[in-house]
Amino acid sequence: MNKILLWSLMIVTTLWPAGIIEASAKKSAQKKPAATASSKTTGAVKPDYGISRVPYVGAIVVEATTGQVLFEENADAKVYPASTLKLMDLLIILEKVQKGQLKLTDKVTVSAEAAKMGGSQVWLEKGETFTLDEMLYALMVQSANDAAVALAEHVAGSKQEFVNLMNQRARELGMKATVFRSVHGLPPDAKAGQQPDETTPRDMTLLCRELLKHKDALRYTSTREREFRKEPKLLMRNHNKLLETVAGCDGLKTGYFQRAGFSIAATAARNGRRVIAVVMGARASNERIARLRGVAEANCLDVKTAELINRAFATLAANPPKPTTASPLPAAVNPAGPSTTAAKPEPPAAPAPKKAEQQKQVPWIWIGVVAFCGLAAAVIGVRMVTRK
């Protein structure tokens, strides 16, 4: 009995510490993953690129006059327009100028609200005055947010009233998926409960087509550089680099903030035809940004947009418009009257006289045939009579 108790005591004293060690090992093993996870959270935080994609969220190219779609990819995707919405600012103001409600020579006074705007700007100061024309150059060339606010207050009395005008015009144009919430396109203040402006590439083409009906629009959008003020001197430079690299490009507007990505509404004219290309939500705009963000240069906004514009013109060249008899173009080109060049298409009708001559010659041929047959019949008849 004593031996049994002794052996039991030895077994217990041997296995009990082993059990404690095993339990301790299990606990430490369970803690290790938590420690690893916590170490990961201390690493570098990746930038929030929001809705932007490689090469872009959505794109569309149309013929400016007819609206014919030459290319589209995710053209109805919801995007943030950023500063491209300033095209609506320009449209509303040019329409009011056309109606005589505003003049380009009108003086616009800068308010405190406008002067404190951040982002891209021309550093307006409270109480400064500039003509409406100069403010529009600041809006389109420099993409100045302070100019956008100053113009909105001058035209509608307040930013919110101008936003109301923007949304009303958008509905009239059929921009069904568009909601404007600002006059400048800056990112919203999430802490204040603000929401971003929203649109689609397809909706933006409707805006661009309408804007191009105003001859002054391209005067602003095609300007590469312009001096805004002499003291302190400020030279504005257009953000649209396609003005320098794409043949025939003369507009329209770029836009960017980090969560929206890079966007552009571009237009170009070649050989009497014009196209509009809207590309939105790109991760990178140019080669420099592409390198920084690990994006292939071929997938940056400027390269893709140029590619789409060139492809669109190739499509139009392969399918020229059919001529119409009611076209007013000849009268517009030469209002003094028809030219010798315009008369050159007539020669194809030249073969007509020969046909008329042939028609006149037909009766004489048949008369000759009939006469010959009659004479032959007469000769045969005479011979038969003489034989009898």
Q: List, by residue number, the catalytic residues.
A: 83, 86, 143
Exposed, middle or buried, 346 (CB in 10 Å: 0-12/13-18/19+)? exposed
> Which of helix, strand or coil describes residue 292?
helix
Residue 293: CB atoms within 10 A of its CB come to 15
Short-list 258, 266, 190, CA closest to 222: 266
CA 42 to chain centre: 41
CB 127 within 8 A of CB 107: no
Report how far apart, in Å, the C-alpha atoms of 130 and of each of 97, 105, 285 are.
Answer: 16, 9, 32
DSSP conformation letters of 1-24: -HHHHHHHHHHHHHHHHHHHHHHH
d(CA 268, CA 218): 11
For 121, 124, 237, 276, 283, the CA distances from 162, given in Å and listed in that order, are 19, 20, 26, 26, 31
Do residues 281 and 51 lie in contact, with contact meaning Cβ atoms separated by under 8 Å? Answer: yes
Q: Can you tell me which residue has the tokens 């209002």?
A: 335
Q: Tokens 């959008």 belong to which residue?
A: 221
For residue 256, what are the CA distances in angstroms to 76, 162, 264?
19, 22, 9
Residue pair 117/132 in contact (Cβ under 8 Å)? The answer is no
Please list the residues that pair with 163 across neighbouring strands. Answer: none
